[in-house]
Amino acid sequence: MKELPSAYDPKKVEDKIYELWEKSGYFNPDNLPTGKSYTIVVPPPNVTGSLHMGHALNAAIQDILIRKKRMEGYKTLWLPGTDHAGIATQNVVEKELKKQGLNRHDLGREKFLEKVWEWKEKYGNIILNQFKKLGCSMDWSHTRFTMDENYQKAVNEAFLHYHKKGWLYKAERVINWCVRCQTSLSDLELEYKEGRGKLWYLRYPLTKDDKQKTKDYIIVATTRPETMLGDAAVAVNPKDKRYKNLVGQKVLLPIQNREIPIIADKEIDMEFGTGAVKVTPAHDLLDARIGETHKLPIYKVVGPLGKMTEAAGQLCAGLKINDCREKVIEELKRQNLIEKEENYTHNVAVCYRCGTVIEPLPSLQWFLKMEELAKSAIKAVKGGKVKFHPKNWEKIYFDWLENIRDWNVSRQIWWGHKIPLEGETDVLDTWFSSALWPFATLGWPSEASAKNGDLAKFYPTQVLSTARDIINLWVARMVFSGLEFTKKIPFSDVIIHGTILTKDGKRMSKSLGTGIDPMILIEKYGADATRFGLIWQAMGGQDIHWDENAVIAGKKFANKVWNMARFVLGRIGPSAEALAKADNINVKMPENKKFLEKLKTTKKSVSEQIDAYEFGPALHTLYDFVWHEFADKYIELAKKQTDNETKETLSAALLEILKMLHPFMPHLTEEIYQNLPNKEKEMLMIEKF
């Protein structure tokens, strides 16, 4: 037995220990004793990504679960991998080409995709290597990528399955269009940024026979006057008494000089503006629904390149949207048709990848019918087969599924899963492929895998841990996909962890300089201290107002555990025949009995808290016991006693503490374990918890 150095140095320990784990092969369930399987699939980060604080928290949570179950004798599989991230990856490569004065069209589709694959091979595994630095015990032999050959077969199989059932159809619908990425996006792929603009109150003249006693116009409020060129109606709420006598009458649309009706629709917000709004079915998702209900004509005045079309009329045809807006306002002022304008702050929908303002416009796309799929996903959670932790996150899940619309699954980009039908050039929404992740990564649709391969051994998985913002993008879609293709739920428990915010409670932002790089924390304090700081603040799924002092506390705690281990090893000595086991030692001294009883109840509490996904409370329980009960009290008592019973109690306590602490701070505990005399197992990571 070597004497432990006087101070714990994570830089000298963590990489060495991780290498030891990898060489052991115990991350791979095939090298573990026969037992019940326990599987977690990592939420696949984008291949463009690097580790951020949310990734680090989520990975620490999953590693705690996997390490505990491994120590309990389960055949654990923690499956790693990355997502091809269609739009994000294409954008990155296009930016690289732009530096060379090129664009993807200069290369052509085939050459461009070669460039993307080159980029992926060079940069695509950065985040996986960062997971290793954090200490994640993933089975790297099972690493998957959503563009792997076998995964592509799974995606094609899923598409064709839906197509044969008649659930996939092609239709022209108003969708969210990014003029920068030149592709459609689903509602869930939009981000909303606060925009400061104007709210214009426009006068729409009533036709001659419809004039009111006091006014010959109706006033509508809009933030986008340029789209009035495509108006098909003016709408009011049927409960709005102000306009009761005008419903069914007509106005003359300014500039375009066409008559359009005044209609009543219950979706109109009476509190917005004047309560009367313009309806442009081609360029607003709500207006599209209203237009469909009232069978209104469609005037496409904005084109896919973000320029006004011929339908916009002579005033604006060919202009960019903002230039058209200026022209429209100028002309309305000239005609004295602007009642007033106000400063207005509202949320503006932008592309979640490039930040460009979204243009709703009609486009021919593939849609997946969602009614039956949504029903199955709702039933799985209401029936208790899939449980959310904390339970309150079910509401977001149900709200979306119970009001679901058909899913626009086609994208007009080049990088991704090409739609497997003749003549198609579009690719599938990235979330279509990632919805298959829990079972496509395990060999589906291979019959061999279903009979005696990975799918048979490790599916369904047990736990999914993820963030709230992809409950609908990903979690719900995995649930109905799993049920549709395997007839089984993909996982039984969904942990929704908190969001890590700045200390003053704001979203972290790289561009604003408020983001924190976990790799810097690891370099400064060590991986175990970083994990400690993350989990210490993770209380019941609540958002975390990040405090680096928790990481500093983790570093101090690591040193405390190290020094405690040095004391115990010095006391029991290298000649100890075997490490004492808490359950096997026979103690008579009251103080030893009392301490071992506290040890036993602490272990039970920590185990139960982890199993209940209360990771922060489990760490607090363990910390309080180790620091206050063991270090402050029992070790001080033991310093005065030299009997064998006390030595055995110290030995047993150290081993149990290392086992309890291992899922949280694995490098530190493994390093100490490797220096124990006559240890039972080759590694702490396979000791019995």
CA distances 435 to 32, 82, 144, 586, Å, are 29, 13, 14, 54
Lowest mean pLDDT across 351-355, 370-374, 493-497, 620-624 = 351-355
pLDDT of residue 576: 67
Task: Report residue 198: phi and psi, to 5°.
Answer: -125, 150
Q: pLDDT tens digits for 169-189?
A: 999 999 999 998 899 998 878
Is residue 217 exposed (0-12), middle (13-18) or buried (19+ Cβ within 10 Å)? Answer: middle
* CA-wise closest residue to 437 among 409, 469, 410, 475: 475
pLDDT of residue 252: 95
Question: What CATH class has 183-351?
Answer: alpha beta
Domain ranges (residues) in the chain: 32-165+372-497, 183-351, 547-686
Q: Check: CATH 3.40.50.620 for 32-165+372-497?
A: yes
Lowest mean pLDDT across 233-237, 243-247, 330-334, 557-561 = 243-247
Q: What percent of the chain has pLDDT over 70?
A: 98
CA distances 317 to 313, 324, 328, 330, Å, are 6, 8, 12, 16
Question: What CATH class has 547-686?
Answer: mainly alpha
pTM: 0.92
Both tokens of residue 615? 């990771």
Report whether 67 contacts 666 (CB < 8 A): yes
pLDDT of residue 575: 64
Lowest mean pLDDT across 211-225, 477-491, 553-567, 596-610 = 211-225
Please tell me the distance from the alpha carbon of residue 167 to that of residue 189, in angstroms, as a whole number. 22
Residue for token digits 């409370």? 617
pLDDT of residue 10: 98
Residue 145 CA from chain centroid, whole number: 17
Q: What is the side-by-side strand order in the sheet with 250-253? A: 250-253, 258-264, 233-236, 277-279
pLDDT of residue 580: 78
Both tokens of residue 480? 């109905």
* CA-wise closest residue to 181 among 108, 88, 101: 88
* CA-wise closest residue to 63 among 495, 477, 556, 550: 495
Please tell me the distance from the alpha carbon of residue 583 to that of residue 596, in angstroms, as a whole number. 9
Model confidence at 208: pLDDT above 80: no
Please tell me the distance from the alpha carbon of residue 87 to that of residue 415, in angstroms, as a whole number. 7
pLDDT of residue 497: 96
Please tell me the distance from the alpha carbon of residue 31 to that of residue 37, in angstroms, as a whole number. 13
CA distances 261 to 213, 232, 233, 289, 624, Å, are 19, 8, 5, 16, 72
**What's the average model confidence in pLDDT over 106-127?**
95
pLDDT of residue 301: 96
Q: Do domains 32-165+372-497 and 183-351 have the same CATH topology?
A: no
pLDDT of residue 509: 83
**What's the average model confidence in pLDDT over 529-540?**
96
pLDDT of residue 498: 95
Q: What is the side-by-side strand order in the sheet with 168-178? A: 183-185, 168-178, 359-368, 407-408
Q: Which amino acid is at 428?
A: L
